[in-house]
A and B are shown apart, each in its own frame.
Chain A
Amino acid sequence: MVESKNVSLRGKNVLGLEYFSADEIELVLQTAKEMKNIIKRDIKKVPTLRGKAIVNLFYEPSTRTRSSFELAGKYLGADVINITAGSSSIVKGESLRDTLLTVEDMGIDAIVMRHKAEGAPEYATKVVKAAIVNAGDGAHAHPSQGLLDLFTIRQYKGGFKGIKCAIIGDILHSRVARSDIWGMRKMGIEVHLAGPKTLIPRFLYKEKGIFIHDRIEDAIENADVINVLRIQLERQKSGLFPSTREYARIFGLNDKRLALAKKDVLVMHPGPMNKGWEISPKVAYSSNSVIQEQVKNGVAVRMAILTLILTGGKGNEVIA
């Protein structure tokens, strides 16, 4: 158990799990557990972030990340506004710099950002003083997803020691995979990657605890967790694999392949799913699947993130 007085995320930007220590990750997971109790209440609103203003600045479409950040802020009593690329001055060609400065001038305390360009959140920290929370930047990072994946694993497995996780599919273009790799390695999970070789980064760090397989069966074998990544049709169009049909047959997670893993394996997916491509509907709705639980946990983890960076977690007393 980590004492929160030793570790604080107050004022920290949440850019990627590479910038987090194991203790900091632990603090988020502990806090998220308390937050999950709030979501279960009949009346969910708490005053932890009353008087704080948060903007969701989304340059890419999103369902679950944007709505869960929005609900997280609202459950905590913050004022939350949404800016999406299609319906703002961004379509008039306003630069990211100017958009950031504009929202900061309106008194925003935290900017939750999703952007196509890797590093845009890091760049944002150089432009404004408001806390930046990365809600996904290109293929780089999606730290809140990485944290909710860890939270979900802990919920079912009790801990991280000795856990073997297979991450299957399009690693190359996946910010989820990168945040999972950073987060899981920091918490001691063994990571096994597999997918078409055209979708595996050629020079991925061959660090201790990371294994790359040519066949997905080898990654899945004996796994405690399988995280299936979304496959995008545009990857097929650019020739990285021959067809979605072939992808499903050779790299898709079906019951036959699922049987190679441990009996109590958790099947995760960051969503949105292409059922029938990367994952069979049967597996997606099987008893091993925790995909819906990930969505629930997403709100709790994002509540924890916002609380910790905006109040340092002192708000916990208010919650209790």
Chain B
Amino acid sequence: MKLLLKGGRVIDPANGLDKIADVLIKDKKIAEIAADIQADDTTKVVDVTGKIVTPGLIDMHTHMREPGQEAKEDFASGSRAAAAGGYTTIATMPNTEPVVDRAILIEGLKQRAKEAAVVNIEIIGALTKGQKGEELAEVGDMCQAGAVAFSDDGHYVQNSKVLLNGLDYLRTFDKIIISHAEETTLVEEGVMNEGKRSAMLGMKGRPTVAEDIAVMRDILLAEYADARIHIAHISSKNAVELVRQAKKRGVKVTAEATPHNLTLTEDMVDIADSSMKVNPPLRTDEDVKAVQEGLVDGTIDAIVTDHAAHAEEEKDREFRYAPSGFPGLETAVGVLLTDLYHAGKITLPLLIEKMTASPAKVFKLKKGTLSKEAPADVTVIDTEAEWIVEKEKFYTMGTHSPFIGRKLKGKPIMTIVDGRIIMQNGIIID
């Protein structure tokens, strides 16, 4: 069975391609990109005139909650949310119950992904045993079981020697560490950005300096070890500048940002609704602008959602007691197109690059491109479609998103994984 996407604007940043062309998919691979490809009897033809055809989107920072937290999300619901959002590859974080800190868990989750997921799921292993930050987990063993990267996400690796050991040790395996950079002693029990809003709400704040110090330490350790480090969900203006300077002097640091830290500020925090509660928190307008600038000038390599669904009863309670995080896979493309692309802050090819070729490069994935013979993971986007975010339509089990009720312009309309259409017009085809 062949699939022919006819007449779309094909944007493939990995190959510097941006033109109107047809895309032919054959045997689960990209077969040809050219003008006026002729279909034969065995070819299914889809007219995508006026739409954008891109490599399947990649999100290297999600929480699929397996094992142990299936009341929040699981591979079935989470991967369907990914497909609905135009993602063909996602990576899941190891802060689960138990923590994914050994090879057998990596193997088990890869098997679960095959059985339950509709998109590719990469598994990120814990850097330290139990994510306790005390001693390295069996990262080599996990590499051989297929872990894509390592992270104690959700926790900062407070002990500098432990992180330095990780940076050195992982050189053998050429895998990257993803750092949740918030200095623990400075964030304490903070529930939102420390700023004007928290001051008058009386809520404990998480100051930007906690992120800045952590990012600086991580950069210095990576520089010292001559190793690669990836800064998760960067959100503060100073942290962006620290990464920018480090990159200039050749430190092997990369960084990612979330749609919410690229678009929302602390002013949106509603004391009665935990939908805006997330770590790192929503910052100020100045920080948001700096993150946007960092994305455009290359300081920030990738966009990730930090998709983190929780059970409804966990989020539907007092702000302080509700867990941090919210789902993001199904709103990312719409939010980014509306608030960045349509707002004139980023070009379409650059935005697509941050969601395809660039994360693929950071994590050394053979994905994120429409090169001939590449896996046929493809996303089709309608940049002009207007829609309203409704939680009733979510595939994720998460119910509390800061974007619910927002009117957005632009959304993915087709997701193709391994040559098969798994989402069309927002509906998952099982």
Contact = CB atoms under 8 A, between A and B. Distances in A.
Interface of A: 18, 95-97, 115-120, 122-123, 125-126, 138-141, 173-175, 178, 201-205
B200 A204 contact: yes
Contacts of A139: 202-203
B198 A203 contact: yes
29 contacts: A97-B317, A115-B318, A118-B203, A118-B319, A118-B320, A119-B201, A119-B271, A119-B272, A119-B318, A119-B319, A122-B271, A123-B272, A123-B273, A138-B202, A138-B203, A139-B202, A139-B203, A140-B201, A140-B202, A173-B202, A178-B200, A201-B199, A202-B194, A202-B205, A203-B195, A204-B196, A204-B199, A205-B199, A205-B200
A201 B202 CA distance: 9
Contacts of A123: 271-273, 317-319
B202 A175 contact: yes
10 tightest A-B contacts by CB? A139-B202, A119-B271, A122-B272, A201-B199, A117-B318, A117-B320, A140-B202, A123-B272, A203-B199, A119-B319
B173 interface: no
B157 to A, nearest CB: 24
A117 B271 CA distance: 10
Nearest to B207: A202
B272 A126 contact: yes
Given A97-B316, A115-B318, A173-B202, 18 more contacts: A96-B318, A97-B317, A117-B318, A117-B319, A117-B321, A118-B271, A119-B203, A119-B318, A122-B272, A123-B272, A123-B317, A125-B272, A139-B202, A140-B201, A202-B199, A202-B207, A203-B194, A204-B196
B313 interface: yes
A138 B320 contact: yes
Nearest to A141: B202
B203 A95 contact: no
A118 B199 contact: no
B269 to A, nearest CB: 9
Contacts of A141: 202
A120 B195 CA distance: 21
A203 B196 contact: yes
Interface in B260-308: 270-273
Contacts of A173: 202
Name the residue in B200, B202, B273 with the highest tally of chain A Cβ atoms < 10 Å from its Cβ.
Answer: B202
Contacts of A204: 196, 199-200
Contacts of B320: 116-119, 138
Contacts of A205: 196, 199-200
A109 to B, nearest CB: 21
A135 B316 CA distance: 22
Contacts of B200: 18, 178, 201, 204-205
Contacts of A202: 194, 199, 205, 207
Contacts of B203: 118-119, 138-140
Contacts of A126: 272-273
Interface centre among B194, B195, B320 (most CB of A within 10 A): B320
A18 B200 CA distance: 10
A301 to B, nearest CB: 21
Contacts of B318: 96, 115, 117, 119-120, 123
Interface in B228-279: 270-273
B265 to A, nearest CB: 14
Contacts of B201: 118-119, 140
Nearest to A139: B202
A18 to B, nearest CB: 8
A201 B205 CA distance: 10
A115 B271 CA distance: 14
A126 B313 CA distance: 14
A160 B318 CA distance: 36
A28 to B, nearest CB: 21
